Structure 1
Amino acid sequence: MFPWHKIDTVLLDMDGTLLDLHFDNHFWLTLVPQQLSTQKQISLAQAQALVEESYHRVLGTLDWYCIDFWQQQLDLDILTLHYSLVERIQMRQDSMPFLQALATVGKKRILLTNAHPKSLELKLEHTELARGLDEMLSSHETGYPKEHPEFWRQAFEKYDLDPSRCLFIDDNEDILEASKLAGVGFQLGIKNPDSKKPHKDFVDFPAIDDYQLLHQELLKVSNS
């Protein structure tokens, strides 16, 4: 699928790419409206409409991914609610073998996530993800989401990357496009970010639903 001899670094999204997106979808689309409905004494349908309208207003901005912003906006203890669902935080079953295979063939593995540092810390605490990575960067450290070119400029500079020799993997096609515009040489989509939902279609980028496909390629690289 990829000319691995032209790739030095694999840049990886977290939620939906290495971790099952079911946790986040359940949290933001089910638990938050339920809590809002109880707190404000409004119907669940009203709470869902309120939440969706709020989400839509800041979609694609750093606020959309910010726990502190939503804590203030919705007047809910978002972080404590996160901790109430920790048993749902799961890695994709194919993630760690793939990350280990990348290390075996000498590829650097850098996590690039829009997740808030508090959310990132929680997920690292409850998974083995950190063992499969060389570096980690939250977009909140740069002041820009991954949708913005400035995020990419700062990431390339921070890790002294040649973007043309990087592969970026994400479940969001808009963010894959942003990485391409920023100069990242190779992109890959993830069709099944949420294990409980149907597969997604990707229009402009190759996409897979199992890292085993890449794992096999990497085994050939390591044996050659």
Structure 2
Amino acid sequence: MQLLPWEKIDTVLLDMDGTLLDLHFDNVFWLDYMPQYYADKNGITRAEADAYIKPLLASYTGQIHWYCVDFWSGKLDLPIKQMKQDTAELIRLRANADKFLAALRAAGKHCVLVTNAHRDSLQIKLEKVHLEPLLDVIISSHDYGYPKEDQRFWQSLRQELDFQPERSLFIDDSLPVLRSAQHYGIGHLRAVLQPDSQAGHKNCEEFIPSTDLLDLVSNLQIP
């Protein structure tokens, strides 16, 4: 593990799903629960539902629609928000996420949640895990109309928040998002090695992997 130069970091930008929260909920919802619900509702087999839904989802990858509850509710004629509420018992923090945030706050770092999650999903998840007291700002890419994969997201974020990209740390489990942040000029980047606790490690490619969030603050000086 490569230690972070905390003396050069003022702002910590944090993804939600797969970074602070276990991605297991989202994987179960989108890859199993929702296709099965669609199959049952439309009187088709699960294989037929998968054959329709998987390429449809893939066609919107990296776009704001991919993350939009309203878009998929209309596209699939499903009550996506209610379905997420019905499965909310699967929503969990990643290991030590709360302790990690508490350490950042104690050290005086500016903690900003930057998520592609739709505000409806965000509300359901925050009601379950109660992270608001540990965060200074909560940003959904839907507030701007551009996902984190798009440079216009970072430009909009910079207009709203007073932060220096070169003195900021960004943690995410998505490689395209990390590359977008790197292109914008975010100075310190970490990739999440195991975003889904029930799945294996992912290839973080050119980015330094993070296993346990608490390890990242092992050398953080707290007054």
Matched, 1:100 2:99: no
2:34 aligned residue:
32
Secondary structure of the residue aligned to 2:217 is helix
2:47 aligned residue:
45
Q: Counterparts in 2 of 1:113-152, with a 5 A limit?
A: 113-152=115-154
Q: Is contact 1:192–1:200 with CA below 8 Å preserved after alignment?
A: yes
Quote how far apart the aligned CAs of 1:140 are: 0.2
Q: Is contact 1:91–1:129 with CA below 8 Å preserved after alignment?
A: no
1:10 aligned residue:
12
Structure 2 portions without partners, runs of 5+? none
Q: Counterparts in 2 of 1:50-61, with a 5 A limit?
A: 50-61=52-63
1:77 aligned residue:
79
C-alpha distance after superposition, 1:133-188 (max 9, x if no partner)? 11010000001000000000111121111111100000011101100101111100
2:21 aligned residue:
19
Quote how far apart the aligned CAs of 1:92 are: 1.1
Quote how far apart the aligned CAs of 1:104 are: 1.1
1:191 aligned residue:
193
Secondary structure of the residue aligned to 2:218 is helix
Structure 1 portions without partners, runs of 5+? none
Quote how far apart the aligned CAs of 1:201 are: 1.4
CA distance in 1, matches of 2:175, 2:121: 22
CA distance in 2, matches of 1:6, 1:53: 43
Quote how far apart the aligned CAs of 1:48 are: 1.2
1:206 aligned residue:
208
Superposed CA RMSD in Å reads 0.9
Quote how far apart the aligned CAs of 1:129 are: 1.4
Q: Is contact 1:166–1:184 with CA below 8 Å preserved after alignment?
A: yes
Task: Name the aligned partner's letter for residue 175 of structure 1.
Answer: V
Q: Is contact 2:165–2:187 with CA below 8 Å preserved after alignment?
A: yes
2:183 aligned residue:
181
Could you tell me the percent identity over the aligned residues?
A: 43
TM-score by length of 1: 0.96
Q: Is contact 2:97–2:214 with CA below 8 Å preserved after alignment?
A: no
CA distance in 1, matches of 2:214, 2:120: 31
Quote how far apart the aligned CAs of 1:222 are: 2.2
CA distance in 1, matches of 2:19, 2:98: 11
Q: How many residues align?
A: 221
CA distance in 2, matches of 1:156, 1:189: 22
CA distance in 1, matches of 2:192, 2:134: 18
Task: Name the aligned partner's letter for residue 182 of structure 1.
Answer: Y
CA distance in 2, matches of 1:60, 1:168: 18
Q: Is contact 1:172–1:189 with CA below 8 Å preserved after alignment?
A: yes
C-alpha distance after superposition, 1:84-134 (max 9, x if no partner)? 111101111210100010111111000000000000011111112112211
Task: Name the aligned partner's letter for residue 63 of structure 1.
Answer: H
Q: Counterparts in 2 of 1:147-162, with a 5 A limit?
A: 147-162=149-164
